[in-house]
Amino acid sequence: MRLTQLRHKLAKQELDAIVITQPENRQYLSCFTGSDGALIISAEAAYLATDFRYYEQAQRQAPDFTLAKIEDKFPPRLAELIAETGARRVGFESTHVTVEQHQRWAEAAEGFELVPIKGIVEELRAIKDEGELALIRRAVEVSDAALAHIVQWLKPGVTEKAVAWELEAFMGTHGADDIAFDLIVGSGPNGAMAHAEPSDRQIREGELIVLDLGARVDGYCSDLTRTICLGEPDEMLRCIHALVLEAQEAAEHAMRAGLKGSTVDAIARDLIEAAGHGEHFGHSLGHGVGLAVHEKPRASKTSEDVLRAGMVVTVEPGIYIEGWGGVRIEDLVVVREQGIEVLTTASKGLTG
């Protein structure tokens, strides 16, 4: 099914074949999870080219592909495989192939033209099928459970690094194959950094903690952010948390298939700006999640992406004030024709 869809796209762009090297795209089309290799796909052929380290793995994971064994001269072998397909116009992933790689491929090319393309497979990946959604749901369940665990585990004096390690260990022993990304733990003023790296800073009673975590299950990711308080939150934290939550709920209530990403972003952003915190919301409202934790579509001020049923997207407004801290609340949702399905079930309360 996926190869059929890709071949239709190739025909529309008058391409005879395509070389896939981007890891998530390679896995999506072939199920091959090895760290090195390329797919060569034409109207009739489907090759998986890789080296000795992955021969058996490739045969097990990608039985619908013809294994092409590579030794030490990848560009010439690539050219041979393309020649066998009879292709004349061959697409390559311009956002992944380096200048040096392209130069070597071009030197080896005989009888065909290399054509830069982008987004062909990413557009297919943006719409999740039920099998993909099942894996994402499992990943969400793991990260939701990890958050519930950490709220009970936290105590004054533990460091941000200790929190990150505890979250990772919990997810690794409760169904995750890996973490989906480097976990974010920002306490007190460190919460003002949207992508704060866990530090040796000790967490204190009564201060905010931004926790951004995700699990990976069979290749598919979850993404969850909550802002909590260890102890009793002060009035400023209560007010800003309530504003961010209002913005998130407004965006989620309005989201549905057919809206542009920029339209949904504006719903949350306008509320935050009206409250005087526009300059403190410096990132986009959301992004797609799947095999990669950041993929199509985008919900940002400038996004022209149109939401379609089956897309999995984050909804994560935030306010960040230097010297004070930050608040972000993030859910993972599935876009439906008449609204959304919220996958995340973690509490949004400041005290868990």
Going by their DSSP bridges, the two strands 89-93 and 17-20 should be labelled as parallel
Please state the φ and ψ torsions of residue 253, each to the nearest 5 degrees. -65, -35
Q: What is the mean pLDDT of residues 2-28?
A: 97
Tokens coding 164: 């990150």
pLDDT given at position 352: 65
% pLDDT > 70, the chain: 99
Tokens coding 249: 């709920």
**pLDDT of 59 above 80:** yes
CB 55 within 8 A of CB 80: no
CB 264 within 8 A of CB 287: no
Q: Which of 259, 235, 255, 260 is nearest to 316 (CA)?
A: 255
Q: Which domains are assigned to the chain? A: 2-125 (3.40.350.10), 130-342 (3.90.230.10)
Q: Where are the beta strands (DSSP E) in 130-240?
A: 178-179, 184-187, 208-213, 215-217, 220-221, 224-229
CA distances 141 to 94, 135, 292, Å, are 36, 10, 18
pLDDT given at position 127: 98
Q: What is the mean pLDDT of residues 201-211?
A: 96
Rounded to two decimals, what is the model's pTM?
0.95
For Cα atoms 12, 120, 255, give the angle at the middle one, nearest 5 degrees.
110
pLDDT digits (tens, 9 = 90+) for 234-258: 999 999 999 999 999 999 999 999 9
CB 199 within 8 A of CB 159: yes
Residues contacting 234, CB < 8 A, separation 6+: 206
Assign 330 a pLDDT band (cuts: 50, 70, 90). Answer: very high
**pLDDT of 29 above 80:** yes
How far is it, in rounded angstroms, from Cα 260 to Cα 297? 10
Q: What is the mean pLDDT of residues 10-36?
A: 97
pLDDT given at position 71: 81
pLDDT given at position 75: 86
- 64 C-beta neighbours (distance < 10 Å), count: 10
- What's the chain's Rg over C-alpha atoms? 23
pLDDT given at position 74: 78
Euclidean distance between the first and the last CA atom of the chain, given in angstroms as a whole number: 43
For Cα atoms 332, 1, 336, give the angle at the middle one, nearest 5 degrees.
30
State the average pLDDT for the chain.
96
Distance of CA 55 to the CA centre of its chain: 28
